[in-house]
Structure 1
Amino acid sequence: MLACKKNDVSLQPVPKSSKEMVAKIAVSGDVAVPVSWYQLELKLIKESAGFTPPVAARAIAYTGITLHEAVLGGMYNGASLGGQLNGLGRLPAPERWKRYNWAIAANSAMAQIIKNLFPNASVENMNLITQLENDNLLAHSDSCSPDVITRSVNFGRTIAGAIYQWSTTDGGKDGYLNNFPTDYIPPVGPGFWIPTPPQFQRAMLPYWGSNRPLLKPRASDTTYLLPPAFSTDTNSVFYKAAYFVYQKGKTLTPEEKLIAQYWADGGGTFTPPGHLIAIAAQLAGDQQLSLGAAASLLAQVGIGLNDAGILCWKYKYRFNLIRPVSVIRASIDSSWMPLIGTPPFPSYTSGHATFTGAAGNILAAKFGNSFAFTDNQKVADGFSPRTFSSFTQMINEAAVSRVYGGIHYDFDSDAGKVTGNNIAQRVLSLHY
């Protein structure tokens, strides 16, 4: 089952309709195909209503799994995720002794799954999906016979169809339509979450923690890290944590403000999971990974992000912990406001810490924790590229950014890093 072209062929010039979207991709070879699709998916996350962080993480995960299974036949000793992931059975296999172009299979698979995962994308963005699929197909079809092209396209679409059908049963398919369910009534009492200023929105995705995770459940999944007990006693652990957020907000250095704003990734952006898959895709291109190696890495990061979102939201609505702004304004300083907006859901644990803990530790396993890299993903938003000496530094900075921003206690971030790392280790224990 061989590809019909070498792996060193660059993407060809593309029509203006998709040139803007792929202009950022300075990547050659077959890895340019998945990188181009993640670039477009990040645009869809920004511009499609309802793709809040857990919803975005879900889409990213199923995209990566689809990519991995579409190119599995081109990997040496690759293992299917069918049978390894929760509820995913045996998947269609390529025909034995037939030729395939795996870049073409990846292209058609990713086009199909992204269309399915973003049904509310604008007409313009749906047209971009079609255009990018055509552009990539044209770029990778030279020296391929028509039957190889057709076989590869059809196989990619078959894989995407099977993955999508499985995805529809996880409880999150329509999450983008109902981020703020009106039937949810939050608990009332001291220390429980209440809507936060200035918008005082309803609770976001209160049922998301009940979704089916991608990793198979374990008995220990019902064991939780406990937050400090709520207390307004000035000597209590909880009060001291809230007071630390208050004092830090009043004494932020320029660098700390920058860190808070750099990692904010709030509404209208590619979200924290989007930021992390963007870094992963950037590194896959920068390091010129093979198509199979890139597919495995991007699937791992996606699985980690999805399950980080589910576990974090399970924590949030199990403990329903009040946000710092509510505590500080009630007990310390009635006029205090955080540097960045408080999102509309409970505090414990930190989503940023959980997402980054999962993705960062997966990336560290691939490249080495001491691997230095530069994140270029926020340049378009007006930030300078940000360089890290290790993935641990990235994890810690993203986690503490929410304390600097005034929206999390430090114990939110500490617990999120632990649970994110635990997810990463489980993801890495699978066979790819």
Structure 2
Amino acid sequence: MNSYLVYMHQEQVQAIYQNFIASGINTIRGIAFEFDDGDVFHIYTSEPKTQISGYPCASLIQFLDRLPTNEAGLAMAKQLRNTMQNNGVNSSRHILIILFSIEDGQLKHHVFASRAEGEFQEGVMKFLPGRSELYSRSKGILETSILENCKVGIVGLGSGGSSIAVELAKAGIGNFVLIDYDRLELANIARHVCGTGDLGRYKTKAVKDALYGKNPHIQVDSAELDINENLEQTKILLKDCNLIIAATDNDRSRFNLNSISLEYRIPTIFGRALTRAIGGDVLRVRPHQGPCLRCIFTKDFLATRKQEISTSTQARKDTPAYVSDEEVNATVQVGLSSDIVPISNMVVKLALVELSKGRASGIASLEEDLIANFYIWANRREQTYAEWPKMEYGSRTPSILRWYGAKWERNATCPACNEDHELLDEEDNIFAS
């Protein structure tokens, strides 16, 4: 076996050392996983927050008053392996032994690995730093200290919402609320951040694991519910958020989120793809400061810009019960993942600008560029965009593969965001029919 790498979190090493000092207990079983046939190991002192794709293997961590020489360490590793095997610990893969000591204020270590009966070889130990170093390469562009205390609620964790969640975690957002009632189906996988290993899982839980994989220090709360059926519970979950991302697949849920945004004065970003992802639009709602969803998405506007139907579950919910499954499935029109990415990326950009607004950051200049509240994107010159000019070289008119910021004023008589205007009667409600 060539020299191998072993990864461990710094704070876990510190915790077992403090326990060693306080209790005198110097040996603990680790939770280790092996990758690439023993080329890489990850070891934990407690169950990791996210699922691991590697193979589990036996491991032991021991703190010593003084670190032995390499030769003495090898002998100690063999002895510890024998003790483990005598106690019924067997592994068809590698056995990992880690020896630590603190000498003159410095952490010293040996790490050894072997097959069950093979020779031990020493590897290279790598320590994963704490939160402050995790996003060191973002410094100067986006100070993650600005974002680590922010809380973002993401409703809808399909192809768009899942990628938005991961990108925000990678940017340093520290707290999330994830809401979706759907499970991952095979048809989702081609566009989703999660893979076949997550089939059948709730999207909330699968995406939570993806977020912890990017940043184990974040806090993620999740709820498997349909917000249209559980509006009051949704309010409780979202009311303390600094920002809401609405990535749902139906207009009723979007209007419900719009009402939550207005009631609790939480900035909200709505993103959606249109039929077969020919394009999409993104709306930023700053409650009572600009247009809300209801100001723009009138009955007439919705009629011209049909949302994408991307799953059979969604199609069935929007179709009468007497319609056959075959007819329902025929309405599903899914676009390419690469057509979803630009829309998700714009949502992420607007989210980061909104959360860091007025604070010193490298993206502050975008506040002067992203002044529009409503943005339109076209992937192909089809249907709604059929008559748009070709992209070619021009930039004076909206074209495909270019964002167009539309100036949209707040509706003074909007029944949703005009606080002096009574809400519409039930028969006038956009979903009453």
TM over 0.5: no
Richer in helix (by share)? 1
Bigger Rg, structure 1 or 2: 2
Richer in strand (by share)? 2
Q: TM-score range by the shorter chain?
A: under 0.3
Question: Per chain length, whose mean CA-contact separation is higher, i.e. which structure has more relative contact order (CA < 8 Å, sep 6+)?
Answer: 1
